[in-house]
Amino acid sequence: MTLAAARIDTGDTAWLLAATALVLLMTPGLALFYGGMVRAKSVLNMLMMSFVSIALVTVVWLVAGYSLAFGDDAFAGLVGGLGQSGMSGLGPGSVHGSVPTLLFAAFQLTFAIVTAALISGAVADRAKFSAWLVFVPVWTLLVYVPVSHWVWGPGGWIVDRLGALDFAGGLPVEITSGASGLALCLVLGPRLGFKRDAMRPHNLPMVILGAGLLWFGWFGFNAGSALGANGLAAAAFLNTLAAGCTGLLGWLVVEQRRDGHPTTLGAASGAVAGLVAITPSCGTVSLLGALVVGLAAGVVCSYAVSWKFRLNYDDSLDVVGVHLVGGVIGTLLIGLFAERAMTGGAEGLFYGGGLVPLGRQLLAVVAVAVYAFGVTYGLGRLLDRVMGFRASEEQEHTGLDLTVHAETAYDHGVLGHGAPVSHSVPAGSAQKVKAQP
């Protein structure tokens, strides 16, 4: 991001307003993507884990998160200061580059929201909702906020000091959510019946709808990260489209050869894997690079999702197999495919940049993955000890929708389900109704 202009540009601002709304839509899209993949008895709980993240992360971001991530560096490129807590000192006239600072803060906020929501896929069907409500804001402050400072904050150690590249958030979004998902599913343990019962997606059209909304929002995510209505945004936009397509096709080819059928879940998963991988690299690689990045993610991730059965950890909806693995692929391939025409300087191995850029990318990946995994594992264990992180066996058997939210998503029966046992009509009104003819 460049801060040279210091004057609001209406074109840039208009595009970033739209991009911010697009990225926010990714979270309800993710809710549908995940919701369709769980069993019918827990779909509402799955939707809620994403939806409530919008509210939780927004509050914590405005109170302290933004300042800690994007405030002036407070310590060695690791964390920002508290000077802008509660957005203090920021008003309609504040400028970040060529856009209002408040808009930049909102744009970054939508990234923090979807990242927290992504983790829920690893603990689907068995996490305690109350523990999730505590986990999300604490995790955002302890993991997302520092890592986004490392990558995008002024003086952050990964981009400003180490010189690694990450255009739209492969490190803070994909790798933190993937590594944290792995940590949480280890804390919670496998679902009841893991590897024994068929845990089939209950609504694949909903999965495709969710994947479509994610893809739509992803254009705001990646092209918006140019922070301007310009050629770089256009290039990132096209790279995003290209990688989603080759990811989808790559996954389908693997399925056809391995299982004999190209599936809808595979198409949706492949597109998402390609989009994950192009997130860090969409502003640094050429179109040819984007096609390769997406294809690599589609092929590798379709194999990676089976790790959970071999290694015996229950990552319910494959947050590790798609987001961690896809994020690692996209971030590392920058070291091979980065092009001067896109980056304005840095080049990858294939364009004469040598091995150094690849080494920087690798160091950044390892540091972020280890940090996110370690802190999340510790936080998860602490919450489990203090309040319990796993739903009771009865809740899990019956389904979290009915036991936690007192609702069910579908009513298939032709038989009635009884009269209301209580309602919120004021006392005495029943009498009035009775008195009417």
Partner 1 sequence: MKLITAIVKPYRLDAVKTALQELGVQGLTVTEASGYGRQRGHTEVYRGAEYRVDLVPKARIEVVVEDAVADEVIDAIVSAAQTGKIGDGKVWAVPVETVVRVRTGERGPDAL
Residues that bind partner 1 (CB under 8 A): 198, 200-201, 255, 258-259, 261, 263, 265-266, 269, 302-303, 305-306, 309, 318, 321
Beta strands 95-96 and 79-80: pairing type? unpaired
Quote the CA–CA distance of 129 and 44 in Å, as a whole number.
11
CB of 33 to partner 1, least distance (A): 13
Kindly state the smallest distance separating residue 183's Cβ from partner 1, in Å: 21
Smaller CB separation from partner 1, 271 or 372: 271
Smallest distance from partner 1 to CB 305, Å: 5
In the complex, least distance from residue 37 CB atom to partner 1, rounded to whole angstroms: 9
Closer residue to partner 1 (CB): 148 or 302: 302
Q: Output the smallest distance, CB 250 to partner 1, in A.
A: 13
Q: With respect to partner 1, which residue has the nearer C-beta, 193 or 388?
A: 193
Within a 10 A sphere around the Cβ of 277, how many other Cβ atoms?
37
* Closest CB 193 distance from partner 1, rounded Å: 12
Number of helices (H), then strands (E), in the chain: 19, 4
**Minimal distance in Å, beta carbon 281 to partner 1?**
24
CA distance 25 to 43: 19
For partner 1, give the closer residue by CB, 22 or 38. 38
Residue closer to partner 1, measured from CB, 72 or 259: 259
Q: What is the DSSP string of 381-397?
A: HHHHHHT-SB--HHHHH
The three-class DSSP label of residue 73 is strand
For residue 9, give Cα distances in angstroms to 224, 271, 410.
14, 34, 48
Q: Residue 421 corresponds to which amino acid?
A: V
Q: Which is nearer to partner 1, 134 or 265 (CB)?
A: 265
Q: From the CB of 54, what's the least distance to partner 1, in Å?
A: 27
Q: Cβ of residue 309: shortest distance to partner 1, in angstroms?
A: 7
Task: List Cα–Cα distances, 358 to 1, 71, 89, 361, 425, in angstroms.
Answer: 21, 29, 40, 5, 66
266 phi and psi, to 5 degrees? -65, -40
In terms of CB distance, is 36 or 156 closer to partner 1?
Answer: 36
Q: How far is the CB of 261 from partner 1 (least distance, A)?
A: 6
When the beta carbons of 75 and 303 are compared against partner 1, the nearer one is 303
- Helix, strand, or coil (residue 90): coil
Burial class (CB in 10 A: 0-12, 13-18, 19+), 155: middle
| Closest distance to partner 1 from the beta carbon of 178 (Å) | 16
Cβ count near 196 (within 10 Å): 9
SS3 letters across 284-350: CECHHHHHHHHHHHHHHHHHHCCHHHHHCCCCCCCHHHHHHHHHHHHHHHHHHHECHHHHCCCCCHH
Using the minimum distance from each CB to partner 1, give the nearer residue, 277 or 282: 277
- CA distances to 41, 215, 304, 404 from 265, in Å: 20, 15, 15, 28
Considering the complex, state which of residue 20 and residue 269 has its C-beta at the smaller distance from partner 1: 269
Torsion angle of the four alpha carbons 407, 411, 415, 416, in this order, in degrees rounded to the nearest 10: 40
Nearer to partner 1, 270 or 327 (CB): 270
Alpha helices per DSSP H over 163-230: 176-188, 204-223
